[in-house]
Amino acid sequence: MQMASRLLACLLFAAHLAASAVEVVRVPKPEFEGDHRYDYALQLLQLALSKSGTDYRTQPAETAMNQERQVLEIEAGRSIDVGPIPSSAEREARLLPVYIPINKGLLGWRLGLIRRGDQGRVAGVDTLADLKRLRIAQGQEWPDTQILRANGIDVITAPRYEGLFKMLTGQRFDYFPRSMMEIWEEQALNADTLEVEPHLALHYFYDAYFMVNRKNIRLAQDIRAGLEKAIADGSFDKLFQQYFGEWLRKAQLETRTVIELRNPLLTPGTPSDRAELWYDARRGR
């Protein structure tokens, strides 16, 4: 009986040690109820961490935060440890990026949300000069705003993501470029008033990376190692197609007029030499 008790105590102690060995990684909480923009990125992060060789568990932050707040919190080592951060030279200098594009460059493939019945306003837009005549809006702190302005486009901005939809409905602007990962759900949430414009697509070389505090080198290495394994065994592409395959087919990029924009925010760390990391509309993958 005494030996059995000792054995049980040893087993409980071992279980406690195993549980305590799990490392918690704090991740962003969506900005509002029904906000699914981070679903794929967090699934990809969990996939990478599961292949890293370290026992990690993700935990959402208690407070919702926008992009810039995520950068501040990671930089300060406060409420989150990693975020799927759209890249810019400033952000890559402040944080430690894992240079594998999370969304295979889909952040740089943009379709437009417009008011229902307003297709005629965009139907004749075929060039950058035509595009400049539209009233376009983006988030105040989004790097996309800098990219559009660098191409000579006048951009209306708002500090809050949700407010942009109200501004579009209220005719404060006419064309809201959104990535293909976001636009279909956003349209569904505003189906009575907004539609996806069918004629045009914007493209610039751009994406988000998982970024951590600059001192958190091991976490960055583990995320990178896990992502590389997921790329090699096909699970990265499988998850990508699971989330975005139907939407990419729905976008019908091959039938759209594509306006190519330059991206002045690209940094030397951008893995532009690895074609397998970027979605190619011509190949469909």
Per-residue pLDDT at 14 exceeds 90 = no
Please write the tens of the pLDDT for every residue from 51-87: 999 999 999 999 998 889 999 999 999 999 999 999 9
Collapsed DSSP state (helix, strand, coil) of residue 176: strand
Banded model confidence at residue 6, pLDDT cuts 50, 70, 90: low
CA angle 75–217–20, rounded 5-degree value: 95
Q: In the chain, where does DSSP find H-type helix?
A: 2-20, 39-50, 67-76, 89-94, 120-123, 128-131, 143-150, 161-169, 183-189, 217-233, 235-251
Which stretch of 32-36, 104-108, 205-209, 275-279 has the lowest confidence by average pLDDT?
32-36
- Torsion from C-alpha of 197, 198, 204, 207, nearest 10 degrees: 70
- Record the pTM: 0.80
Please write the tens of the pLDDT for every residue from 209-241: 999 999 999 999 999 999 999 999 999 999 999
Q: What pLDDT sits at residue 2?
A: 53
